[in-house]
Amino acid sequence: MAKPTPRELASRILPARSRTTADLRSHGVGKLAVRRLVTSGGLVRVRTGRYVAGNTDARLIAAARLGGRLSCVSLLSALDVFVRLEQGLHLQVDRGASRLPARDRTVVTHWREHGGESGRDALSTCVVDALVLAVPCQSPRDAVATLDSAWHHGLVDERDIAEIFRRLPQRFAPLRPLLDPRSEAGTETLMRLLLRALGHHVEVQVTIRGVGRVDLLVDGWLIVECDSREFHAEWSARQKDLRRDLAAARLGYTSVRPTAADIMLDHDEMVATMRDILSHPRPAPRQAVRVPNSSKTRRIRAGSRRPAGSSGGAEEFGRTAPRGS
């Protein structure tokens, strides 16, 4: 069975709602029927007088039991948006909410005036709300990777991105020019930022005739493919990658394939590795023909605009970037 896409996950998770005893009664489900449904697993009682469907995602149930809505990095992770580190359960709770159960230290509570697309019975916030909360909850690089991921997968569009940065504190504005929805994985974003911080020219999702589409092309000669177990675990896929590397080498390119673990778990070592590799520059291959990248930025929503890529400025991502709060 194919893994569900983030948009498919969103269609299941975001509409989830809780129902009160009165709601159920208005639909002909009386107390005895509710009791039977709870016993059989058809309903789950999350708080006094409030129920959710038995097949509801466990993270939504956990949030509802604490009197909140799933949000921030927890909701984004549930939607398979890239989140490098998810620590604890992140909830949005209405300011002024009463009779809330005790929460342990692993729960991160975001107090907000309720508003937006989600009603009071919603089990999660909308994606825009989650991203607004997730940016300060992560390092700047990780926040850019999460925003890229949500945009690439069509969960937000360019207007949503503008709204997110309108709602964020001004200190996060320098992150906006760094976004590029063409990046197909969070590790690609992290590597792109790393390479640009080192002062190199990085092209995203470049198609090279005879090789195919590559994740990153650095200074015209170094191909960087950001491998992950999800797409490169089987030997057949590995063989295809090796053939592509040989084809690229015939054209004069050098290929490197850092793993997701290499990129995410030891940033300083990866910086040192890429600096050393790029300290031996080579002239760009002359005989290769590169195909213009024209259509990889996906439509964000059915019938909606095609998202624009990142602007050319603000490529350096130095240590003065804002920190999450």
**Over the stretch 307-321, which tens digit does the pLDDT of each residue have?**
333 334 334 444 333
**Cα-based distances in Å from 24 to 12, 27, 32, 45, 71:** 21, 5, 11, 12, 26
Q: Which residues pair with 206 in a beta bridge?
A: 214
Between 315 and 257, name the one with better pLDDT: 257
Residues 294-305 have a mean pLDDT of: 41
Cβ proximity of 90 and 75 under 8 Å = yes
Cβ proximity of 322 and 174 under 8 Å = yes
User: What tens digit of pLDDT does each residue of 87-110 get?
Assistant: 899 999 887 776 777 788 889 999
Residues 160-188 have a mean pLDDT of: 97
User: In which order are the strands placed within the sheet that holds 50-53?
Assistant: 19-20, 50-53, 43-47
Helix (H/G/I), strand (E/B), else coil: 200: coil
CB neighbours of 59 closer than 8 A, spacing ≥ 6?
70, 74, 75, 78, 89
Q: Is the per-residue pLDDT at 290 higher than 70?
A: no
pLDDT band at 157 (very low <50, low <70, confident <90, very high): very high
Q: Is the per-residue pLDDT at 325 higher than 50?
A: no
Between 87 and 69, name the one with better pLDDT: 69
User: What tens digit of pLDDT does each residue of 102-147 get?
Assistant: 788 889 999 877 555 567 789 999 999 999 999 999 999 999 999 9
Between 296 and 270, name the one with better pLDDT: 270
Cβ proximity of 108 and 54 under 8 Å = no
Out of 77-81, 125-129, 282-286, 293-297, least confident range: 293-297
Whole-model pTM?
Answer: 0.83
* Superfamily name and number for 186-291: VSR Endonuclease (3.40.960.10)
User: What integer pLDDT is reported at residue 22 of this predicted model?
Assistant: 93
Q: Is the per-residue pLDDT at 306 higher than 60?
A: no
Alpha-carbon torsion, ordered 30, 33, 39, 44, to 10 deg: -50
pLDDT band at 304 (very low <50, low <70, confident <90, very high): very low
Name which of 132, 125, 9, 127 is nearest 69 in CA terms: 125
Cβ proximity of 148 and 189 under 8 Å = yes
Residues 36-56 have a mean pLDDT of: 94
